[in-house]
Amino acid sequence: MLRRLYDWVMGLAASRHAPLSLFAVSFAESSFFPIPPDVMLAPMVLAKPEKAWRYALLCTIASVLGGMLGWAIGYFLRDFGLWMMSITGHAGGLEQFQCWYGKYGVWVILAKGLTPIPYKLVTIASGLAAFSFPIFVAASAVTRAARFFLVAFVVKRFGPAMMPVIERRLALFAAILIGLLVIGLGASHFLGGGGHGGACGA
């Protein structure tokens, strides 16, 4: 089924309604859809490199809006949110998120939003955990923009051959980005002693 969905999304990238489809896929992926928008973004940038930044911005806006929906599902529809996480293979997602947040604070949203880890896990779990909505939106905007503009830049500059390299190195890029953010913005958070102990997975 995932292969059929993948092929369908790739077909949307070549259609005359590609920008609208890109918006819809980016929105849906943040809360329930299994295929990431990068699948559409890369061929669209390759076909029209002069629109790379427009497409990346479109992805970012739609993904943040979709993340807001995911947060709302977790916050207002708790049972439904837990059910959605279970059917997408993340039944223990809330506990995992709370463990991540206890160790890393808001940086977990930044890190997990940039890496290939399903962002829907973070959006729904943030609502379930009643995580601050304004901070969630701000962190989502930063991390999703970083991801999509990076993909657009690589495809525009180097072509699709570089995409597998980027996918393999996204965790490294995430670590670099989070490190810079921590240095520039996070000193007060750590000086304030936020975070709890406990062993969490990565």
19-70 pLDDT per residue, tens: 999 999 999 998 888 888 888 888 888 888 899 999 999 999 999 999 999 9
Q: Which of 2-11, 18-27, 146-155, 176-185 has the highest average model confidence (pLDDT)?
A: 18-27
Q: Are the CB atoms for 53 and 153 separated by under 8 Å?
A: no
163 in a domain, yes or no? yes
Band (11; pLDDT cuts 50, 70, 90): confident
Residue 20: the pLDDT is 94
Q: Is 202 contained in some domain?
A: no
Within a domain: residue 200? no
Domain limits for position 159? 2-191
Count how many Cα atoms sit within 13 Å of the Cα of residue 46 in the half-sphere of its side chain. Answer: 16
- pTM here is 0.76
Q: How many domains does the chain have?
A: 1
Asked if residue 141 is part of any domain, the answer here is yes
Whether the per-residue pLDDT at 2 is higher than 90: the answer is no
pLDDT tier at 187 (50, 70, 90 boundaries)? very low
Work out the mean pLDDT of the chain and round it to a whole number: 77
Helix 78-87 × helix 52-76 angle, to 10°: 120
pLDDT at 1: 59
Residue 191 has pLDDT above 50, yes or no: no
Alpha-carbon distance of 193 to 191, in angstroms, equals: 5
Do the domain assignments include residue 198?
no
